[in-house]
Structure 1
């Protein structure tokens, strides 16, 4: 892919502007009002429905995180199964490249964004916490929730799906993002802006320079060049 310099710069500026719209206003301005409203809307239901408590407990259990990996893996597997040997190798290498990009972008975002804040369940008082209502392992709090790393990883996956597998795969991956990222907001382990601002800022600034330049293609080429090929041996009857 040729570098779309003007578009990349525009997306970078949009990412910086999004972050500053949240970071600069006193107490985060209108974003804070939105965060509070969303948290209390979902938190209120914990006192009204036991089934809802169980739903949030299950969807924020570590095992449910494995389900997100399974969902992403199944989407990539669908392309792997339809490909020939060289195509299957390429799908696997794209997965490795995506993992590398996710680690680098996540680490840069965690270290370069000058923010540390606790999740809403640790900020507000007189609220419900799932861990107090059900004594099963679940993630309902974080001492440092910004940016949302879980949402960031899922969005990076969606970006790679769009770049290498097309619009249909991108739409399916966005469904995966909502299903597996939003429960963190519903339970109060993340603010809405941890994802809508934090994760999206990292994506807007970092991902275009990977996917909308020759960089990702070059990494894929280097992986393909240096990773060993697994040769199938034919059995003689």
Structure 2
């Protein structure tokens, strides 16, 4: 975590964000997103045809209780990383973990839930409402509550969580941990894509854009370092008080 401003990195990431948004908002480029969105959805959604066990697997992955398991797995990633760190660095790692948890929770609540759902509320039907003959898991497996429909699919909440986790964890833990983290993040994004609750561009542009913006602010400025240092000071005060 930096103690100063990385203006070059900040500028590059914000420029990438602008290009990403432009690719979806510029009509000539949006056509290609539309084609890719439909082709990708048909590819993954049609894999559910004539395969009951495959349907049950993705239905379970899409269920709300799976969210708790997925969040627990994210904590496992950080726990393993902390345990493999030298003892002298563990306090710093725990402070960084707390920052990431609180920062991600802040983004999900105030940006995804409050801003995009209550104030902006971009009307965008999910692929299950647009593409004909799509497999609806809520109809195939009616005894399980599954999200496969959305009238405001942009951006994807689960994908935002997954990408924020993978990007922040990669920055902190290094490339060896990052490879596994990104594979796991990709898996977390699939359930809503395969059932038709979100378009691919909801994940890449929507969730990816949010990730680029907020993590560039966190790690290309002293923000993450300042808040983590605050947690460390609290730890030190408690340790002194206990002694």
TM-score band by shorter chain is 0.7 to 0.9
Q: Which residue of 1 aligns with 2:201?
A: 193
SS at match of 1:229: helix
Distance in 1 between the 2:22 and 2:172 partners?
A: 31
2:164 is the counterpart of 1:163 = no
Q: Alpha carbons of 1:65 and 1:108: their partners in 2 closer, same or farther (altered >3 Å)?
A: closer
Offset of residue 85 of structure 1: 6.4
Partner of 1:206: 214
Matched, 1:229 2:238: yes
2:30 aligned with 1:22: no
Taking structure 1 as the reference length, the TM-score comes to: 0.87
Cα distance change on mapping 1:114 and 1:25 into 2, 3 Å? farther
What does residue 189 of structure 2 align with?
A: 181
Q: Output the CA distance in 2 between the equivalents of 1:85 and 1:158.
A: 24
Corresponding residue for 1:80?
82
Post-superposition Cα deviations, 1:53-102, rounded to whole Å, max 9, x if no partner, equal 11221211122222221221111111333457664433332222112222
Give the direction of change, closer, same or farther, for the CA distance of 1:61–1:230 in structure 2 (3 Å limit): farther
In structure 2, distance between residues paired with 1:231 and 1:49: 60
Q: Which has the higher helix share?
A: 2
Secondary structure in 2 aligned to 1:48? coil
- The corresponding residue for 1:140 is 148
Q: Which moved more, 1:162-171 or 1:186-195?
A: 162-171
Structure 2 residue aligned with 1:64: 66
8 Å CA contact retained: 2:162, 2:186: no
C-alpha distance in 2 between matches for 1:175 and 1:231: 41
8 A Cα contact 2:62 2:192, kept in partner: yes
Is 1:108 equivalent to 2:117 in the alignment?
no
Q: Any conservation in 1 of the 2:128–2:196 contact (CA below 8 Å)? A: yes
Q: What count of residue pairs does the alignment treat as equivalent?
A: 234
Partners of 1:148 and 1:199 within 8 A in 2 = yes
1:92–1:37 Cα change, 3 Å: same
